[in-house]
């Protein structure tokens, strides 16, 4: 049985933990708002870009002159997995769920005899993947110094990925990130970015006049489209991270509250027991006289 | 007011403007063009230059460094990677834009070096138009 003093200390320590988790929850809530706004603001650009690229891709897809970013290298041997996670922990299953998804995919590809290369964005994913897939890690993008994710960051990642593609380091690139659904649900998502997937059943936008040619525009657009997709993923991931952290910290705060209640009951009971014991001792002492 | 078309200018980070305009002048990759209501569907890449739209509130100008334009009979959508209202373009921002292009031109080789050089010249022309110092950076 812990002494009264031990119990008191315990209660105080849980109380301060609760204060911290509560504060973290509020910070996450504020950041979530900002992250959501940023994701919202980026949507028009991404949506238009996607529409135009899809239209072009459908009409150019069959031709021999299609850019490599669309047609692919003709091989399906080397896969690059771009795994996006957070720079910090304490956000529930956020990082683990992406890493789990990436691991499953990597295992699948390896089982098919393909080569897997992994580019990590965010420290947490790298730490987890290093345990069993360290041989496959080819690069890491550190965003821990970045306060607010901007298009520039996406551009840096895109440039890196495109350079590797041009140098023939991989054939297929896939993004792994968490799509923001709501504060309590973030969906780990995979998205193929290179070669650009040709939408099925989409209508070719043959109505347009192009200047310069269709192919030239596509050539110019595809790298931008890759950057845009990465940017969208970064923003979705940012919002998801804050959402996940918010609900994780909310749970932690509630658990700490429950724990304090339980400990307080134990504390009061043992105090009462001590008093009762003393009383009995005094009374039986007096009776013995 | 005459017929209008919907003019949207969006950058990756936010929507810069969305207004009704009677005409929009766009610096296309192969020459400037003006889009007016009823324009044939048209898709073009952009070169660095000044986009100017005529709206109810008068003419508004934006400096863009690149991107592309989607023109239909009812709307003009400009997707610009970097774009600043011409009136708010300051010397440091301009220097930075120019330096980025110069750097890209310096790294480019072969055919792309020519086109990258052209982009730098376009940007310099923008600077002259707005009365900015183009020598820096």
Look up the ipTM and state it: 0.81
Closest CA to B49 of B35, B37, B67: B67
Instruction: Tell me how close the Cα of A41 comes to any Cα of chain B, in angstroms.
Output: 5
CB atoms within 10 A of CB A4: 12
- Cite the beta strand spans of chain B per DSSP E: 5-10, 15-28, 31-35, 42-46, 49-55, 58-64, 67-71, 75-80, 83-85
Q: Does domain A4-21+249-288 have CATH number 1.10.287.80?
A: yes
Closest CA to B49 of B64, B68, B34, B35: B64
The answer to whether residue B38 is domain-embedded is yes
Q: How far, CA to CA in Å, does A44 sit from each of A24, A40, A224, B76, B119?
A: 31, 8, 15, 14, 26
Contact (CB, 8 A) for A193 and A172: no
B62 and B116 together in one domain: no
How far is Cα B10 from Cα A45, in angstroms, rounded to an integer?
Answer: 6
B17 and B74 together in one domain: yes
Contact check, Cβ <8 Å, A208/B29: no
B34 and B81 together in one domain: yes
Of A44, A207, A216, the CB nearest to B15: A44
User: Per-residue confidence of chain A (289 residues) as pLDDT tens digits?
Assistant: 678 999 999 999 999 999 999 999 999 999 999 999 999 888 889 988 888 888 777 777 666 667 788 877 778 889 999 999 998 888 888 999 999 999 999 999 999 999 999 999 989 999 999 988 888 888 888 888 887 888 888 988 999 999 999 888 899 999 999 999 888 889 999 999 888 877 766 555 556 788 778 778 888 888 888 999 999 999 999 999 999 999 999 999 999 999 999 999 999 999 999 999 999 999 999 999 8
Contacts of B128 (CB under 8 A, 6+ apart): B134
Of B14, B30, B43, the CB nearest to A52: B43
B29 and B64 together in one domain: yes
How far is Cα A194 from Cα A163, in angstroms, rounded to an integer?
Answer: 12
CATH topology for the A36-247 domain:
Pyruvate Kinase; Chain: A, domain 1 (3.40.1380)
**Domain range enclosing B99:** 89-130
Tally of structural domains, chain B: 2
- Partners of residue B15 in chain A, C-beta under 8 Å: 41, 44-45
Q: What sign does the dihedral B54-B57-B59-B60 (CA atoms) show?
A: negative
How would you classify residue A90: left for phi > 0, otherwise alpha for psi between -120 and 50, otherwise beta?
A: left
CB atoms within 10 A of CB B47: 23
B12 and B56 together in one domain: yes
CB atoms within 10 A of CB B76: 24
How far is Cα A223 from Cα A191, in angstroms, rounded to an integer?
Answer: 16
B103 and B120 together in one domain: yes
């Amino acid at each position: 049985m812990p002494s009264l003093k031990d119990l008191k200390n315990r209660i105080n320590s849980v109380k301060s933990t609760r204060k911290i988790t509560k504060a973290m929850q509020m910070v996450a809530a504020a950041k979530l708002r900002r992250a959501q706004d940023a994701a919202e603001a980026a949507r028009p650009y991404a949506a238009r870009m996607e529409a135009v690229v899809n239209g072009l891709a459908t009409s150019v897809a069959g031709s021999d002159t299609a850019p490599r970013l669309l047609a692919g290298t003709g091989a399906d041997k080397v896969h690059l997995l771009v795994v996006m996670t957070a720079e910090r922990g304490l956000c529930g299953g956020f990082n683990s769920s992406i890493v789990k998804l990436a691991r499953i995919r990597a295992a699948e590809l390896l089982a098919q005899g393909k080569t897997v290369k992994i580019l990590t964005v965010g420290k947490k994913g790298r730490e987890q993947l290093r345990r069993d897939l360290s041989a496959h890690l080819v690069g890491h993008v550190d965003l821990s110094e970045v306060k607010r994710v901007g298009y520039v960051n996406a551009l840096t990642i895109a440039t890196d990925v495109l350079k590797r593609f041009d140098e023939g380091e991989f054939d297929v690139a896939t993004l792994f990130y968490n799509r923001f659904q709501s504060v309590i649900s973030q969906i780990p998502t995979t998205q193929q970015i290179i070669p650009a997937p040709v939408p099925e059943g989409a209508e070719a936008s043959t109505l347009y006049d192009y200047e310069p040619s269709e192919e030239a525009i596509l050539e110019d657009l595809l790298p931008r489209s890759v950057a845009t997709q990465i940017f969208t993923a970064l923003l979705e991931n940012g919002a998801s991270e804050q959402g996940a952290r918010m609900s994780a910290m909310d749970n932690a705060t509630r658990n700490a509250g429950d724990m304090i209640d339980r400990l307080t009951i134990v504390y009061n009971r043992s105090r009462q027991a001590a008093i009762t014991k003393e009383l009995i001792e005094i009374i039986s002492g007096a009776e013995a006289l | 007011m005459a017929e209008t078309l919907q003019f949207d200018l969006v950058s990756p980070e936010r929507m810069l403007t969305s207004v009704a305009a009677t005409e929009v002048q766009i610096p296309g990759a192969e020459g400037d063009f003006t889009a007016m209501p009823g324009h044939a569907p048209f898709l073009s890449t952009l070169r660095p230059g000044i986009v100017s739209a005529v709206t109810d509130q008068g003419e508004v100008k934006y400096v863009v460094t690149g991107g592309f334009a989607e023109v239909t009979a009812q709307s003009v959508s400009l997707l610009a990677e970097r774009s600043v209202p011409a009136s708010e373009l300051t010397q440091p921002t301009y220097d930075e834009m120019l330096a980025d292009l110069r750097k890209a031109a310096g790294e480019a080789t072969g055919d792309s070096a020519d086109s990258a050089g052209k982009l730098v010249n376009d940007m310099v022309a923008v600077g002259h138009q707005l009365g900015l110092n183009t020598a820096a950076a």
